Amino acid sequence: MLVPIVRVALLILVSLACTVPAQANWISDFIHSVVRDTKRRNCWPKPFTCPDFDAVRAPFAIMVENGWRRQNMLGDHHFDSENNQLTESGRLKLRWVLTEAPRQHRVVYVNTADTAVATAERLNSVRLAVTQLAPEAEMPPILETDIPSHGWSAERVDSITRKFQQATPEPVLPSASSGDGGG
């Protein structure tokens, strides 16, 4: 049953080959496509896994960038509320970004203030502090961001620490007579 079908198929192919003009070159195109498809099948699934890997890794790269943005952000507590100048803790944070952060992540993010004028004052204060802290170094990008600042002022942290230390009872050793016969 299979042999007659193959014979009919070969007869059709030969008759088509005889009727098609010689310049069409369809036989070489057909052979080329068979070879190409065979090569594609042999390297499967490698060409398709690389885009999948990239799609899986993309959210992690975004998370890392967001983490560095939060780490390098100067928040409300890093600026004086009256004149939008950097406080001492803001200068220390800025110095850390300029000297200790990895070079590819040395970007300073400034949290936006309530008004555009206050935000501009903050940005100018940071630019001035960068030129004072690292005059010969390359100016890092200074960008504004609107993510919320989750931090406390140094005064509040100091106040909480002092109250905790004041509320801690003095250490006392147990008395010598513990009620235990001891032997």
User: Is residue 111 a part of any domain in this protein?
Assistant: yes
Residue 103 in domain? yes
Residue 104 forms part of a structural domain? yes
Containing domain of residue 124, as a range?
A: 62-154
108 within domain boundaries: yes
Task: Kindly report the average pLDDT of the chain as a whole number.
Answer: 86
**163: in domain:** no
Q: Quick check: 118 pLDDT over 90?
A: yes
Q: Which two tokens stand for residue 27?
A: 């036989």
- Note whether residue 53 is domain-resident: no
| 125 part of a folded domain | yes
pLDDT tens profile 2-49: 677 867 777 777 776 666 555 568 888 888 998 998 888 888 888 788
* Higher-scoring residue by pLDDT: 21, 161: 161
Residue 92 maps to a domain: yes
Is residue 91 very low, low, confident or very high in pLDDT (cuts 50, 70, 90)?
Answer: very high
The most distant pair of C-alpha atoms in the chain lies apart, rounded to whole Å, by: 117
Mean pLDDT, range 106-122, rounded to an integer: 94
Residues of the chain with pLDDT > 90, as a percent, come to: 53
Predicted confidence at residue 136, as pLDDT, reads 80
pLDDT at 178: 61
The answer on pLDDT for 115 being more than 60 is yes
Query: Domains in the chain: how many in total?
Result: 1
Give mean pLDDT, residues 44-69.
Answer: 91
pLDDT over 80 (residue 61): yes
Which pLDDT does position 162 carry in this prediction? 94
pTM over 0.75: no
